[in-house]
Chains A and B, each alone.
Chain A
Amino acid sequence: MCLAIPALIKAIEDKEAEAEIGGITRRISLWLTPEARVGDYVLVHTGYAINVLDQGEAEETLTLLRQIAELAEEEG
């Protein structure tokens, strides 16, 4: 369950925001993420931001995966 996609917050008005993903925009609710700011990426589930995405962690995960891929090439 839990289809939630990362969307970029473009503008905030009260407890709602304009969020953009891949060129489409939709009004979402920030009731669950009052700490979200313009420029943040949030995970959007049924129109609500359920978490602010940690961009630093995302980069670290990708770096780790790249390292694993390089290691695999050397071993292989």
Chain B
Amino acid sequence: MRFISEFRRSELAEGLISQIHRKSRTPARFMEFCGGHTVTIFRYGIRQVLPSTIEMVSGPGCPICVTANADLDKAIALSQVPDVIITTFGDMLKVPGSRSSLQQVKADGAQVHTVYSTMDALKIAEDNPDKSVVFLGIGFETTAPTIAASILQAEEKGIRNYYVLSLHKLCPPVIQALLDSGEVKLDGLICPGHVSAIIGSHPWDFIARDYGIPCVVSGFEPLDILQCVDMLVAQVENGQSRVEIAYRRGVHPEGNQQALRLMEQVFEPSPAQWRGMGEVPDSGLKIREKYQRFDAELAFDIEPGPTREAVGCICGDILRGVKTPDDCKLFGKACVPENPIGPCMVSSEGSCSAYYLYGGSFGG
């Protein structure tokens, strides 16, 4: 596959690994914020091939993991409304809310369809004019513009039974909140590649400038992560803190202006609940008044019920990088992929899931 296979070649990886080992002298802690990076790092065993001077820690970049129970409960409550079809990305299906999950309500008869794209959800809306199709809008700035586009397409085509529950989150505000909490000391940040494809690299400038932390925007193949680590090591050894783009084939500093325009047209920033971090101002997206007829929260009268957090679950601490899954009393015992207590174990890119499935500290 073009532009994928070339970035997995072992002989090129060896060169990078060798260079990193040669250059890295100063102990450094790097955080990858994006769940997709977490998956690559664990799937290819990247931690194992890095020198002992480098410590890798995972941050809250999994949009499923950071979705608060209260928001999950809203989605589940919507599934109970008569004649509602919930359309969702597969990631959301197994995540436990306060009392149930979408997979469970589906087994009880609720209409829940997994889709790959909002294009599929719009088609389901067109094919079922007597039903209300609600799309669960999760994801960061990579996904939000696609949801915005789906709302505009629904408007263009006169689709009157399509709604979105906006649970979108924005990355820069939450990274700032994380850094401000002072809980994790970082020497470098692996910046999300596809979020940056949309927003560009300038939104990360404040991290290098105000917190003195080197930032490199990385792609998702193993060579991309290794190249990113190599560039972070170079900055650390030279005492620099700048924002650089390693993922040059996918990211321009200015981002995707058209995508940003569509996002701006349909959404406005709003406060959002982040699991483990509470409410972070201006870190979520709300559908603007002009498009409020597409807003599922306004269109349906739902009673999600009281929010309950799972006892003993430390997903919040793990998301902030202050604890690892091994620190959790429930990890691997009560909380396992087939019976997850918290979202970090459910989501394919949650830290706990990655640790469990790929053997976490195995071999490393």
Q: A residues bordering B, Cβ < 8 Å?
A: 1-6, 8, 21-22, 27-29, 31-35, 41, 43, 45-48, 50-51, 53-55, 57-58, 60-62, 65-66, 68-73, 75-76
Contact = CB atoms under 8 A, between A and B. Distances in A.
A50 B140 CA distance: 13
Interface of A (DSSP majority class)? mixed
Contact of A46 (B7, B15, B118): B118
Interface of B (DSSP majority class)? helix
A56 to B, nearest CB: 8
A4 B197 contact: yes
A46 B227 CA distance: 26
A41 B249 CA distance: 10
26 contacts: A1-B36, A2-B142, A2-B195, A4-B142, A5-B1, A5-B4, A31-B149, A31-B153, A31-B262, A41-B3, A45-B194, A46-B116, A46-B143, A47-B118, A48-B145, A50-B142, A50-B259, A51-B198, A51-B256, A54-B252, A62-B6, A66-B15, A68-B16, A68-B230, A71-B15, A76-B18
A72 B6 contact: no
Interface of B: 1-4, 6-7, 11-12, 14-16, 18-19, 22, 34-36, 61-63, 89, 116-120, 139-140, 142-143, 145-146, 149, 152-153, 192-195, 197-198, 220, 223, 227, 230, 246, 248-252, 256, 258-259, 262, 349
Contacts of A54: 248-250, 252
